[in-house]
């Protein structure tokens, strides 16, 4: 029987990361409500959304292993999502300059039988103390409006930081690859055996 892998995301960033494993996969948007629940912790929020994304596509893809992932930036104990506009991106970056901020990524690998393997991956970012003008210039050039925290670490966003802390920088892009390989092995799947030469 063939192995079917599905990324429950429309994110081109997550797809680029998953391609590194050289395992053929398809991609579909789960279209779920991402509104946080009342009194939901950031950890519970990202893990719930990762599970819901994987579950949302199960009925349409019952023979697939499905990867769900969700990320948030935690500022003052509250989840911060995508800015959507340049003004909100500037507000987000002004709020975190000079601070150490935690990013959390929830990850769920769902089997065709409905078994779920999950984790929450933290990653810490130390932001430089940058001027409003520098932040506006960054936003204007990179347009990180669809990214949690309003930056792209894989691009010019690296100029915003003084230090990075964590086991897998890929989690900042939205798909912790070390964690995904761990979950696959927990599920009895060896990534290297599935990789195409």
CATH of the domain at 77: 3.90.950.10
- Domain hosting 133: range is 5-194
pLDDT at position 8: 97
Q: Is 117 helix (H, G, I), strand (E, B) or coil?
A: strand
3-state secondary structure of 170: helix
Whole-number Cα distances in Å, 85 to 53, 89, 91: 25, 6, 10
Among residues 32, 19, 43, the alpha carbon closest in space to that of 107 is found at 43
Letter string b/e over residues 92-113, b meaning 16 or more CB atoms within 10 A of that residue's CB: bbeebbeeebbbbbbbbbbbee
Catalytic annotation, residues: 70
> Token pair of 71, please?
């990320």
Q: Residue 57: CB partners within 8 Å, gap ≥ 6? A: 6, 8, 28, 30, 64, 66
Q: Name every residue whose Cβ is closer than 8 Å to that of residue 37 and which is 6 or more positions away in sequence.
A: 45, 48
* Summary count for the chain: helices (H), strands (E): 6, 7
Per-block average pLDDT, block size 10, for the chain (197 residues)?
89 94 96 89 95 96 96 84 91 93 95 97 95 96 89 89 94 94 98 94
At 148 the pLDDT is 79
Q: What is the pLDDT of residue 36?
A: 85
Number of domains the chain contains: 1
pTM recorded for the entire structure: 0.89
Q: What pLDDT does 151 receive?
A: 87
pLDDT at 130: 95
Rg, Å, the chain Cα set: 17
* Residue 174, pLDDT score: 87
């Amino acid at each position: 029987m063939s192995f079917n892998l599905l990324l429950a995301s429309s994110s081109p960033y997550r797809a680029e990361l998953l391609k590194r494993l050289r395992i053929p996969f398809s991609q579909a948007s789960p279209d779920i409500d991402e509104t946080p629940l009342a009194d939901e912790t950031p950890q519970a929020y990202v893990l719930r959304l990762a599970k819901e994304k994987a579950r949302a596509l199960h009925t349409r893809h019952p023979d697939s292993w499905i990867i769900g992932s969700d990320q948030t930036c935690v500022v003052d104990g509250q989840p911060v999502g995508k800015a959507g506009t340049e003004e909100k991106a500037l507000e987000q970056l002004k709020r975190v300059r000079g601070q150490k901020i935690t990013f959390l990524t929830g990850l769920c690998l769902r089997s065709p039988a409905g078994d779920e393997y999950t984790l929450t991956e933290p990653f810490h970012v130390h932001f430089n103390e940058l001027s409003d003008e520098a932040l506006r210039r960054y936003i204007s050039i990179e347009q990180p409006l669809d990214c949690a925290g309003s930056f792209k670490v894989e691009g010019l966003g690296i100029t915003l930081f003084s230090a990075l802390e964590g086991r897998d920088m890929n989690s900042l892009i939205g798909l912790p690859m070390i964690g995904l390989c761990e979950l696959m092995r927990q599920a009895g799947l060896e990534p290297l055996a599935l990789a195409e030469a």
